[in-house]
Amino acid sequence: MAGIFKRLLQPSRVLTLLPTSLYSSSTSSRAWKIGRLNHVAIAVPNLEKATSLYRDILGATVSDATPLPEHGVTTVFVELGNTKLELLHPLGEKSPIQGFLDKKPSGGMHHICIEVDDIKQAIQDLKSNNVRALDPEPKIGAHGKPVVFLHPKDCDGVLVELEEA
């Protein structure tokens, strides 16, 4: 039995076989930079109940509900110190959030938002690397800044929003 533990405590040789390029960053040739996590968006079936959970039970600071008809959502932002949560509720008949809630009636994580310093350069570079944007041009998002969503099939199943910082 001691032999098994001795082998488990030895450094793994598997990591030495992996190419170091898996861990390196090639940002030197990029004309844009990725920034911090801006928010995690959660689709909610009941905006008042979700707002109350974060404000009244968990003690977070929350924004007022803001309708964004051009995006088909009403949003509430929950401040968390190092990032935010964005509560999303359907607004209007063609809301993409309603489609999400039809599939997941209790709600759930919808997307993550990452800041970039130059959204147009990011879109161009990502396109050249076969990462599709859902819209060809950025739109103005909930923070009044340009945003674009990346196709989840190109981002390991995650809907990623890029927001210009």
Q: Is pLDDT of 42 > 70?
A: yes
Q: Burial, 18: exposed, middle or buried (Cβ in 10 Å; 0-12, 13-18, 19+)?
A: exposed
Q: Decide if pLDDT at 10 tops 80.
A: no
Pull the structure tokens for residue 23: 């861990």
pTM of the model: 0.81
Give the model confidence (pLDDT) of 43-64 as tens digits.
Answer: 999 999 999 999 999 999 999 9
In this structure, what token pair is assigned to residue 118? 């130059």
Angstrom distances, CA of residue 137 to CA of 18, 118, 149: 38, 13, 10
On the question of pLDDT at 137 being above 50, the answer is yes
Eight-class DSSP state of 133: B
pLDDT recorded at residue 31: 87
Smallest CA-to-CA distance from 124 within 133, 134, 116, 112 is with 133
Confidence class for position 26, pLDDT limits 50, 70, 90:
low
The rounded Cα 122 to chain-centroid distance in angstroms is 16
Please give the Cα distance from 80 to 61 (Å, whole number). 8
Q: What is the mean pLDDT of the chain?
A: 87
